[in-house]
A and B are shown apart, each in its own frame.
Chain A
Amino acid sequence: MQHTHISAKGRLFDLKLSELWRYRNLVWLFTRRSFLVTYMQTVLGPLWLLIKPLLTSVTYVVLFGNIAKLSTDGVPQLLFYLSGSALWSFFSSCVTDNASTFTNNANLFGKVYFPRLVMPVSSVLSNLILFLIQMLLTLALLLWYTLHGMAAPRLSALVLLPLLLLQLGALAMGFGIIVSSLTTKYRDLRVLLDFGVTLWMYATPVVYPLSAVDGPLRRILLINPVTAPMELYRYCLLGAGSVAAAPLVYSLVFTLLVSAAGIVIFSRVERTFMDTV
């Protein structure tokens, strides 16, 4: 029979990952639910998933491509912005969704126990599904441009894509749950977050390529752990981008540290957050 020991002093690395695995069914159900519920009682349904990034990209084409005349590494503008903004919105919505894990689910968490990590993991998963659907649009556009000789994807590098998405998901979840753990008592950080994420986007090569930036600014961009995956993604998909080993390794190590720290802090806080949230 299963034995549970509850003690006032929790152990630091009591992460309950095996318990999370036992609840994988719940992870999937939450993922499915958030997907279904968003587009319930809408006429266009999941079509909105494609309309939103398309409209964003067209705005970028006008704003950054035609008015600001930023470089796109020789890639067709629409394709450049669409791929960048889709990947960024995957990352940023993972961060913001996870940042309110405790406050948004306080009602449910206060009534019944299940491994709290189920929530962050399922929110990353549902964002990943949204991203993959949006990627179909990118791929369709890519096919059209390739047939017309305006893009050259590196199909061999596409095998890196799952790894890259896993890394970005882990990084975003790590950041998000650190913020959510720190905001169960004082909510100041949450207020700052939306603004911070917007700023973060401009510090990431989303609307411009890394190759367009030189000098000290480039160094700042390389400190940003999202820069390298973003460039790698464009490199795989569009065959354009500055990819080097050092920033990628840095970004990977950063991800490992942040997600490990996130999970440890999260499982510390989840024991008693109901008293303060």
Chain B
Amino acid sequence: MPSASGGVRKQYRLGVIDRSTLQAELQSRWAKLRGREDPNTRIGAETPGKRLSFWALDGIDLDIFRGERVGIIGANGAGKSTLLKLICRITAPTEGEIDIWGRVSSMLEVGTGFHREMTGRENIYMNGAILGMSKAEIDACIEDIIDFSELRAFIDTPVKRYSSGMFVKLAFSVAAHLQSEIMIMDEVLAVGDMAFQQKCLTRMREAAEAEGRTVLYVSHNMATIRQLCERCIVLDHGKVLYDGDTEHAIAAYLDQSLGGSDVDLDLGARSRPRQYTERAVTMTRLCLENKVTAVYVPGEELRMRLHIHVERPVPRLCVRLSVRTDTDVGLATAWSEPFAADRPGEMAVMLTLPAGSLAKGTFYASIGLCRRDEIGSMIPCDHITRAFRFEITGSPLWNTHAYSYMALPEMRVDTIK
């Protein structure tokens, strides 16, 4: 068992550090010294709107075994990177314990420790040493590293003359050849060309399968998670939401925000991105008309009834609907024509989307309201990411792996000869 964690929590304080923080700190210490109650914790508890700190990780218990390829997914701010930082010992947990058997090599960002003025070869030695290898170990595999990076011609040139793609290739090659038992990666594959990405994924699979190394991989790219990981952990607000096989985990991650029913959704209680706390208009309910389940045949129109609570009148309001795939890739966005929401209170609109170009697959729709101002620009008023899910049952002949999710209009043919 290369890694185990028990009750790990990590707290961060909010706001800037200045004279007032020193004052608060001294107050707390002085109170503690006299055996009194800490005055600052009480302030924090009484005014919930102005918290002094938050828990980035809130009670994580995990056992990860040797040779496992584990993906970690979750929305931004779920605590993925914090968890990796604790395992890599970049910062210490506030509570709890972590036990690690074996050496850990981390690639939290590409080119960590690269120096612009040094050549590629010198940087390989430098980077290897930073990641804990001895000179002899690097000597033994430097040829492999150079071959893997495909940069032999440039290896004695200072890296400041490299393109960013070359930079990543070199950095990844060093990390992939480290003699460590546990490899930790945070979105390192986001850059670099497709062929190299595939090569890296293959290399990491091999490392896990043949050499028994453990891989922890954080990414927002569900396709690479699917390809690499056999087990996946979904984090949400610092807690483990799901831990198990990858397909279920990805479904759990994508569905975590959905309500109970498929076709009649209570939007009022759903969480919004932070910038939408003060809303003039709020989406309260969304019904998929005349549907029992959210399944459509290709060419069928999506008819939706959207209920809106109007706080302050908006003369020209538009609905924005963005469609993403089940691999969390953005596909397309549809706008509604503007309509008036000029009386405070409740109102409802019927939306009809001809979705004929969506060929087959499971889709997630994010829905938002925008106000169109005098000069025609759109100002977002409300937004819910992945508000609902729907499925389009395409022809069995349509292979989504080969043809993707959308059908373009049929091509016209004119016989020339």
Contacts and interface: CB of A to CB of B under 8 A. Distances in A.
24 contacts: A2-B101, A4-B99, A5-B97, A6-B89, A8-B96, A23-B132, A25-B129, A25-B133, A25-B134, A26-B129, A29-B129, A33-B126, A37-B115, A37-B118, A108-B130, A111-B113, A112-B112, A112-B113, A114-B130, A114-B131, A185-B17, A273-B91, A274-B90, A276-B17
B382 interface: no
Contact of B90 (A4, A8, A37, A110): A110
A273 B133 CA distance: 25
B99 A275 contact: no
Contacts, number: 104
B17 A2 contact: no
Most central of A113, A186, A272 by chain B CB within 10 Å = A113
Contacts of B133: 25
Given A4-B99, A4-B104, 14 more contacts: A6-B89, A8-B95, A22-B134, A33-B115, A33-B126, A37-B115, A41-B117, A113-B90, A113-B104, A114-B131, A271-B91, A274-B90, A274-B91, A275-B12
A208 B90 CA distance: 47
A7 B97 contact: yes
Interface size class of A (residues with CB under 8 A): 20 to 34
A112 B133 CA distance: 13
Interface string B101-143: 1111010110011010110001001100111111100000000
A183 to B, nearest CB: 11
A145 interface: no
A6 B97 contact: yes
Nearest to B86: A6
Contacts of B92: 6, 8, 10, 271-272
Interface string A15-46: 00000001101100100010011001100000
Given A6-B86, A37-B117, A186 B22 contact: yes
A112 B102 contact: no
Interface string A179-207: 00000011000000000000000000000
Nearest to B118: A33
A10 B117 CA distance: 38
Contact of A6 (B22, B98, B125): B98
A111 B101 contact: no
Interface in A90-147: 108-114
B117 A108 contact: no
A276 B100 CA distance: 26
Most central of A2, A40, A41, A185 by chain B CB within 10 Å = A2
A40 B160 CA distance: 13
B94 interface: yes
B185 to A, nearest CB: 12
A3 interface: yes
A68 interface: no
Nearest to B2: A1
A10 B98 CA distance: 12
A14 to B, nearest CB: 11
A6 B100 contact: yes
A112 B108 contact: yes
B79 interface: no
Contacts of A113: 88-90, 104, 106
Contacts of B135: 25
B181 interface: yes
B130 A112 contact: yes
Contacts of A272: 91-92
Interface in B56-110: 85-104, 106, 108-109
Nearest to B111: A111
B93 A6 contact: yes
B90 A111 contact: yes
A111 B88 CA distance: 9
B254 to A, nearest CB: 29
Contact of A109 (B90, B99, B129): B90
A273 B104 CA distance: 20
